[in-house]
Amino acid sequence: MWLKPYPPLSPIHNTLYKVKKTHYNKPPPKIFSGQMLLPFVFLCLLPAAVPTTTPPLRPGYYAKTCPNAELIIRNVMKKAMIREPRSGASVMRFQFHDCFVNGCDGSMLLDDTPTMLGEKLSLSNIDSLRSYEVVDEIKEAVETACPQTVSCADIIVMASRDAVALSGGPDWEVKLGREDSLTASQQDADDIMPSPRANASTLIDLFAKFDLSVKDLVALSGSHSIGNGRCFSIVFRLYNQSGTGRPDPTIEPKFRQKLDKLCPLGGDGNVTGDLDFTPLLFDNQYFKDLVNGRGFLNSDETLYTYWRTREYVRMYSEDQEEFFRDFVEGMIKMGDLQSGRQGEIRRNCRVVNDGPPVDLVVERFKDRKILSY
C-alpha cells in the first residue's frame, strides 16, 4: 500500500504518486506525454520494501545532529571554486539535474553498476555535468564531522546555494531533510531533461508539470548567468537552424561571427563558450545579453523571442534585485520536489549503502560498458 508524502501534495507530487501507484500494482507501462522530444516519464523501480512517509523539509534540520554542516559545505565549496572557478556553475546545476528527475534525491550522483544504469551518462549529463569530485570532497568532510547524518540530496541543495552566493548572487535559507534514493535511471533522465534546442513553449509545458510557473522558468534560466556551454549544443543554431541550412536569424551579427570562430562547422564539439559576458559573476548580464540577441543556447534566446517569456526577460535585464528574488523563490520551489520513495543517508554519494537494490539492466543495454565495484 502506498502512503502519500507529508506535507500535503502539490500537483507535481500528485503526478508522481499516481504514476508510482500504477507501477506498483501492475507491470510498468510505456508512458509518453509532453512536447516534441521531451516525454514526461517517471519509471519507478523500487526495492521490495514498504515505503515510509516522507519527512517534512525545514530550515535548520541538522541544527542538533550536525550543527556545522552548512559551514563545512560552504568552506569546501569556496576552496573548490578558488581551485577551479568553473566548479561553482557546475555544482549549482546539480540541483536542476537532480530535482527534475524523480525529485531531489541525489540519484544523479550514483555511478553505474553491473545492475543499474544511472543518470551520469544520460543525454543531458554526459560530457556536460562535471565537478562530481567536489561533492565527494564535501561528503567526506561532512562524514568526518557527522557520520551518516547529512544526505547527499541535501548536500546538492546546500552546495548549489553556496555556489550562487560565492559567485556574487543571492544567499538564502534552504529547507533540508531529504533522503537519498536507492536507485537511479538513465532512461528517466533522458525522458525528462530538456534539450538545448528546446523552445520556450516546450520549456513552459515541461516546467508546468513540476508546478513551476512561466516566471519560475525565466528566473531559473538565469542560472546560466555563470558557466559555459559546449559548441555541440549550438552548431545547429549557427549552420542549420530548424533545418534551413542557415543560422538562427535572432543571433546578433557580431556575436554570431564570434561564435562562428569558436565553433566552426565540423570543429570540436567539446569546445566551450561563455553563457554570458560575465561567466564567473552571478548577475543579470545573462538577461541583458538575451535582449541584445546574444544568448548562447537556443533555449536561452528563445526566452526573449517568445511572447509569453519576453517581458520577464526584459524585467530582469533592468532589475537585478527582482531577478535575485524570483530566482531564490524558484530554487526553493524546485527543492521541494520529492518522489516520496523510500530512501537512506548514503555513506558514499556514488553508491547506495548496501549495493544496488534492483536490476535495471535490460536487453537493449546488454553490450554497454558500465562501471563495476
DSSP per-residue string spanning 98-164 = HHTTTSSSSGGGPPPBTTB--STTSTTTTTT---HHHHHHHHHHHHHHSTTTS-HHHHHHHHHHHHH
| Contact by Cβ (8 Å): 20, 42 | yes
Exposure of 70 in the CB half-sphere (CA atoms within 13 A):
17
Instruction: Look at the block and give the residue holding cell 534552504.
Output: 174
Q: How far is CA 259 from the centre of its chain?
A: 26
Distance from C-alpha of 316 to C-alpha of 35, rounded to nearest angstrom: 27
Contacts of 101 (CB under 8 A, 6+ apart): 107, 108, 119, 185, 188, 189, 192, 193
| Contact by Cβ (8 Å): 16, 340 | yes
Tell me if residue 97 is catalytic.
Answer: yes
Calculated CA dihedral for residues 181, 185, 188, 190, nearest 10 degrees: 130
Q: What is the 3-state secondary structure (H, E, C) of 295-336?
A: CCCHHHHHHHHCHHHHHHHHHHHHCHHHHHHHHHHHHHHHHC
Helix 152-166, helix 132-145: angle, nearest 10: 110
Longest dimension (CA), the chain: 61
Q: At 58, is the secondary structure helix, strand, or coil?
A: strand
How many C-beta neighbours within 10 Å does residue 13 have? 22
Q: How far is CA 227 from the centre of its chain?
A: 14
User: Among 13, 23, 97, 224, which one carries the catalytic annotation?
Assistant: 97
Residue burial 305-331, b: 16+ Cβ < 10 Å; e: rest: bbeebbebbebbbeebeebbebbbbbb
Q: What is the 3-state secondary structure (H, E, C) of 232-268?
A: HHCHHHHHCHHHCCCCCCCCCHHHHHHHHHHCCCCCC
| Contact by Cβ (8 Å): 129, 90 | yes
- Just list the catalytic residues: 97
